[in-house]
Structures are given as C-alpha cells and as structure tokens.
Amino acid sequence: MMEMSKSIEELVLDKIKRNPRGTLFFADSFSKIASSKSINKALERLVKSGEIERVAHGIYVRPVIDKIIGKVFPGIDEIAVAIAKRDRATIVPTGSYAMFKLGLTTQVPLNIVFYSDTSARKIRIGKQTIIFKKASSRNLACIGEISTLAIQALRAIGKEQATSGEIRQIKEILKNENPKHLQHDLQLAPVWIRKIISDN
C-alpha cells in the first residue's frame, strides 16, 4: 500500500513538473491519476516535502524561484482566472479592485470581489479574500477589458462622488480601449456612467 501511494505522489509531481513553475493546480487536476482521497494525501506529502506550496484550500503551485527574492507566488488575478477557467466561469473585477487595476487607487483591497456567473463563494489567499458574487448576465456581458474596469470603478465610486480628476483619468485610460468594444460596453452601462464617459 505504501508503495502504491508513493507512485501516486510521483505521478502527481511528474504532471506538475511538466508545466512551467508558477502554474496553478487544483486537487481535481489529477482526477485521472487516482481517487480524490489518494490525490489529497499525495499533495499533502508534496507540500510537507517542499516540492509544492499550498496557495489556498485545494489550490497548489510549484513557485517560480527568483535569485534575489526567492519564491514568487501567483497574484490574486492569476488565481481568480485559474479558478474561473477550471469552473468555465466568466468573472469581472468590481469595486475597489477595479479601481486598483485602473490605477485610481494604490490601496490593494483585502477583499477582492469578482462578479461571476457561477455560485457565490469566498477563497482565502493569505491575508486577502477572493469573493465571487453571483451576478446578472448583463453585468458580465462587457467585452472590453479596460471599459469593463472603468464601468465597475465608476459604479464603486458612485454617481455623485466621482471627482473631475477621477473622470479625467478614466477617460484618458479609455483611449487605449478598442472603440468598438467601448461602444458595445457603454450600451450596457447605467445611463449616468454612459453620460460621464461620452461627454467631451
């Protein structure tokens, strides 16, 4: 029995090593190798031996090693995208995280909220928490990366609270968006946001 579990461990590690360092893995990434119970035990042993690191419950990585700073772990965005990919979900950064990604604030939020078309849940990553909130298809229908963030950032700031400086900064950033994507996304935005962005 011990010999068998050792081979599961080796198979799991082989699969991990076939991917570049920094690639995220879930316990169910190895479902073809063995039962989930055996896989979980193998992953626990690989964490103990230092071959891999646990990023969050059920999420693992073989970190990139930097000569100066040592182990480099995937960012919150990479983790959220990997979870969405696994779940075949659409996600959209919202609130203060959308503002941070646009450069409107330097404060990294502790609670990072994404709208999602799958079930709502929370995942703790160190001191931060990724929160997936179930949202309507309209909130997930934007196609431009920058315009999506701009709309969500303005929603977070609020209709009456947006300063002329923030509006100017958002408009400047939106110059990098594909005009067709921007036009598409503005049709989905609340009227007041459409007005702010469209006004010269």
Question: The tokens of 120 are what?
Answer: 């709502």
Q: Do residue 128 and residue 50 come from a single domain? A: no
Q: Do residue 16 and residue 111 come from a single domain? A: no
Q: Do residue 110 and residue 169 come from a single domain? A: yes
d(CA 185, CA 53): 39
d(CA 129, CA 78): 14
User: Which domain, by its residues, includes 147?
Assistant: 76-198
The strand pair at 121-125 and 128-134 is best described as antiparallel
Q: In 3D, which of 102, 200, 75 has the Cα closest to residue 156?
A: 102
Q: What is the pLDDT of residue 1?
A: 42
Q: Do residue 118 and residue 103 come from a single domain? A: yes
d(CA 41, CA 141): 40
What is the residue-level pLDDT of the chain in tens, covering all 200 positions?
Answer: 444 446 899 999 999 999 999 999 999 999 999 999 999 999 999 999 999 999 998 999 999 999 999 999 999 999 999 999 999 999 999 999 999 999 999 988 999 999 999 889 999 998 899 999 999 888 899 999 999 999 999 999 998 898 999 999 999 999 999 999 999 999 999 999 999 998 76
Q: Do residue 136 and residue 157 come from a single domain? A: yes
Q: In 3D, which of 200, 90, 96 has the Cα closest to residue 155?
A: 96
Rg (CA), the chain: 21
Q: What is the pLDDT of residue 5?
A: 44
d(CA 25, CA 58): 8
Q: Do residue 61 and residue 149 come from a single domain? A: no
Last residue of a domain, one of 50, 70, 90: 70
Last residue of a domain, one of 70, 100, 117: 70
Q: What is the pLDDT of residue 126?
A: 87
Q: What is the pLDDT of residue 6?
A: 64
Residue 58: DSSP 8-state: T
Last residue of a domain, one of 22, 47, 70: 70
d(CA 84, CA 82): 5
Q: Do residue 192 and residue 155 come from a single domain? A: yes
Q: What is the pLDDT of residue 149?
A: 96
